[in-house]
Every structure is written in C-alpha cells, then in structure tokens.
Amino acid sequence: MATITVRIDDAVRDALQAKAEEERQTLSDFVRDRLQDAVFAFREDERGKSERDKELGPDTLSALDRHTLSLLHRILGRVLPEDANDVDGDREYQLERAKVLERGFTKEYWMEFAGLRPELSPRNSEFVMDVLEMFRIALYSINDLQEQGVVIDESLQRALTFDGFDHNDALEGQMSDYVRFLVQDDKWTEQEAFVLGPDRGNSHHQSVPIYSRMLTEYREVKQNKSRKTGRKSYLLTEEELRRIAASRVHPSRR
C-alpha cells in the first residue's frame, strides 16, 4: 500500500484527531477513509441526500414543451380504450393533464415527471460494472484453481461472492436496479440466480464501502499483473484472492 506525506497546520491536525476519536478510529484510518470518499464519491453526504430526495419536476416549462406535452396527452386520450385503467389512466385523466399544461398551472407540472428517478451517474454506473467484473474474475479464478486440485475453503468463496446492494439505501437501491437490468439483458448472467431470485440482489446492509475497499485491492493486484501475458493471465492466484477477500473488513477492525 502506498504512503503519502502531507504537511498541515497543527490546528488542522488536532481537528482531524478529534474527528477520528469521535468515529473511534485511528487518525490514519480516518484520513484514509476521507480520501477514499473524495476520490470515489460513493458515500452520500447530507447535501447529496437532499438533492436525491428532491422532485425532478421543473418549476416552469417553455411554451414549446407545454404545447408538445399537451398534444401527446390529447393523442393518448384518444387512443386509450374506454375501459383503460393502467398507469396511463383513462381519457379523462389525459385531457386533465393537457388542460394543466395549456393553462400553465406550474404547481401541477410535477405529475409529468413523477415516474422519473434521479440519474445514476456515469461514475456510479462504472463502479457497478467494476464490482461485477471483480466478482466475475474471482469466480473464474476459484473455478480454475479447483480444477487444478487446489482446495478453496468455503469462507473464502463466500467472501468473494457478490452480495448485492442495500435496497433500503437510495443510491444502492438504484445500483441494484441497474444490476437487475444488466442481468435481464443477458449480461453478467452468473448473477442471474441471486439477482432474479427471491432476494432480488438485496444485500440487506450497505455494500458500497466494502466493495470500494475490495476494488482498491483488486486494482492494485491487476496493476501488478499487467506485465504478465498468456491466455489466463487475468486469473488470480489463491494469495491474491485472499488479499481481496481480507479487504472486506475495515482496517480498523482487522
């Protein structure tokens, strides 16, 4: 693991020490966690939560947008069957939405966007893909080692099995939805039984901090293997697998 030396004022150092003691961490562990947060930005602060909780509906719409949406509502109202009773509502509902837009009732615009969710940022989307790749390579590596006659204990296999994301957390719940979409699109099919099964990929605990630590170790392992060539050069050794599995546990608890 790399070492960085940073010069700071005594007052800043004392403030960091106080914060670390509040979190019951060593100063080194506290600073390492904050740096990881700054680089990867996977944990949400209070501002992030409040932004995520806001409605996506705009305060105003241009005349062109209002006209276009109003026409779409009127068209949909004409093509819906008389007994329509699904998410699109019925003819009366569609004409009501058109009237809201035509008369400019801005406080009612949010209904046009009620089904939209906040975007999963490119960074967080890439994080999901990196996590799935890490667990795929771990699975392939374990299978290859077992074919060679290496005995891999159950605890190691479990530590290197994808746990899913926490459905009770806004960001992780959206990450879980993305994983489900990918699996249903015939990608990362090794996760199909877990993601589409009874648990639906729910970890029941926050997983992003754990996966962040594992990815840091995984990337370091990959960097050290980058010079190797061969058909199976991407596979990990038992020692490398154990390093990644060990990183599940926070350094302060090891």
Taken in order of first residue, the domains within the chain and their CATH numbers are 63-113 (no CATH), 120-253 (1.10.3190.10)
Calpha distance 75→183 (Å, rounded): 35
Backbone angles phi, psi at 73, to 5 degrees: -65, -40
| 230 three-class SS | coil
Q: What's the pLDDT tens digit per position in 4-62?
A: 888 888 888 888 888 888 777 788 878 887 777 666 555 444 444 444 445 678 889 99
What pLDDT was estimated at residue 18? 85
- Average of per-residue pLDDT across 247-253: 85
List of E strands, the chain: none
pTM above 0.75, yes or no: no
What pLDDT was estimated at residue 85? 67
Q: What's the pLDDT tens digit per position in 93-139?
A: 899 999 999 999 999 998 888 878 888 999 999 999 999 999 999 99
Q: What's the pLDDT tens digit per position in 70-98?
A: 999 999 988 888 776 666 788 888 999 99
What pLDDT was estimated at residue 50? 44
Calpha distance 30→64 (Å, rounded): 52
Q: What's the pLDDT tens digit per position in 179-189?
A: 999 999 999 99
Calpha distance 89→175 (Å, rounded): 30
What pLDDT was estimated at residue 231? 66
What pLDDT was estimated at residue 43? 47
- Average of per-residue pLDDT across 240-244: 96
What pLDDT was estimated at residue 84? 64
For residue 3, name the pLDDT band (cuts at 50, 70, 90): confident
